[in-house]
Amino acid sequence: MENKLDNCIFCKIAAGQIPSKLIHEDEDLIAFHDINPAAPVHVLIVPREHIATLADCGERHAALLGKMMLLAPKLAQQLGCGYDAEAGAGGFKSLFNTGPDGGQEVYHLHLHVIGGPRPWRGQR
């Protein structure tokens, strides 16, 4: 498994070398609160494997990507911003930023899960 401990902040978080507010940990993924939240709930789902961007993923990453996406609604539920279909209430964004024009700042794959009662920063 490729690991960029020298220069990648999310590899260092995954290795426990930099502290974070962890909310989930398993053999493939970690999730922690974003240091600069854009909304009442803002967490990042991060694979332990160093993959720079979504555009670097291939077929061999399909299960990992599926696992990341399936974790998003579970964490949202756990953090109080799950989607309640019956009430037509709640909900969250799930977002991958890719490359400079995609607004990516950390080049280790991550899925943002952003939610909580509106308004948020810059959102209605």
Of the residues 42, 50, 108, 110, only one is catalytic, namely 110
Binding segment for ligand 5GP (CB under 6 A), chosen from 32-40, 52-60, 61-69, 74-82, is 32-40
The reply to whether 12 sits near Zn ion by the rule CB under 5 A is no
CB of 4 to Zn ion, least distance (A): 4
The reply to whether 53 sits near ligand 5GP by the rule CB under 6 A is no
Of 50, 68, 79, 113, the one binding Zn ion (CB under 5 A) is 50
The reply to whether 94 sits near ligand 5GP by the rule CB under 6 A is no
Q: Choose among 57, 54, 70: nearest CA to 110.
A: 54
Q: Angle at the Cα of 90 (from 86 to 94), degrees rounded to 5? A: 120
Residues found near Zn ion in the complex (CB under 5 A): 4, 8, 10-11, 50, 108
Q: What are the residue numbers of the active site? A: 110
